[in-house]
């Protein structure tokens, strides 16, 4: 059954891990959202806040997404060098949220198969990082326009995850390649951790 765009979807759960913490189990086909403080991370959050306002602004807390592709925590993610396989241990020093999507085993497999294809692990060229997509997203954020553009064979982190999640029945209200980390967080109703109280 298809769901309305940007309605929170049923999921097995979301687990939050602070710096130095990590999950004890992983399921291929789930994904992570992370929060960093590098200048590029801050720039992504700033850009997301140009479009996302009101109560939904809390979702701009995240600035990166990656798909889990093995039970041992292997990831496939879009980085500056292109879509590549890494490991979740690289995010141990950062805060991350693990989104257990609660899809069927077949849906999980299709999401993983797609991401492996994008990474060039199944006799296909590896997709490049979507710098043109970033330009397109920036244009729509600054102008409010609906015109988007991209080059086939390119991906950004959250767009790659969104395209994988389409294989599990997710329907987004914008072109999946242009989905940002905040859009994923809103779609899966991933709440940011509470802000520490001032002393």
Residue pLDDT, tens place only, 54-64:
999 999 999 99
Query: Which uninterrupted H or E stretch holds 34?
Result: strand 31-35
Q: Determine the pLDDT at residue 198.
A: 40
The span from the CA of 30 to the CA of 179, in Å, is 17
As beta bridge partners, residue 13 has 100
Q: Using a pLDDT cut of 70, give the percent of the chain over it.
A: 91
pTM for this prediction = 0.87
Domains detected in the chain: 13-187 (3.90.1720)
pLDDT in tens, 141-169: 777 777 787 888 889 999 999 999 999 98
Strand locations in 115-175 (E): 128-129, 154-155
Q: Determine the pLDDT at residue 192.
A: 86
The span from the CA of 117 to the CA of 99, in Å, is 22
Mean pLDDT in runs of 10 for the chain (199 residues)?
50 84 92 84 81 88 95 94 94 92 92 95 83 83 78 90 94 88 92 64
Q: Determine the pLDDT at residue 167.
A: 93
């Amino acid at each position: 059954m298809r769901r309305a765009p940007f309605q929170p979807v049923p999921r097995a759960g979301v687990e939050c891990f602070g710096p130095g913490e990590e999950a004890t189990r992983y399921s291929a086909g789930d994904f992570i959202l992370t929060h960093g403080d590098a200048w590029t991370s801050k720039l992504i959050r700033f850009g997301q806040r140009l479009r996302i306002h009101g109560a939904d602004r809390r979702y701009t807390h995240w600035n990166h997404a990656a798909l889990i592709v093995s039970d041992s925590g292997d990831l496939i993610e879009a980085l500056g060098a292109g879509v590549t396989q890494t490991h979740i241990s690289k995010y141990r020093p950062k805060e991350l949220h693990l989104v257990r999507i609660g899809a069927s085993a077949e849906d999980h497999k299709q999401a993983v198969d797609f991401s492996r294809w994008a990474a060039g692990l199944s006799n296909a060229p590896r997709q490049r990082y979507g710098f043109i997509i970033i330009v397109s997203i920036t244009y729509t954020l600054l102008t409010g326009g609906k015109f988007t553009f991209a080059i086939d064979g390119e991906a950004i982190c959250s767009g790659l995850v969104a395209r994988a999640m389409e294989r599990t029945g997710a329907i987004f209200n914008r072109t999946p390649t242009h989905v940002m980390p905040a859009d994923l967080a809103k779609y899966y109703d991933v709440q940011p951790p509470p802000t520490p109280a001032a002393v």
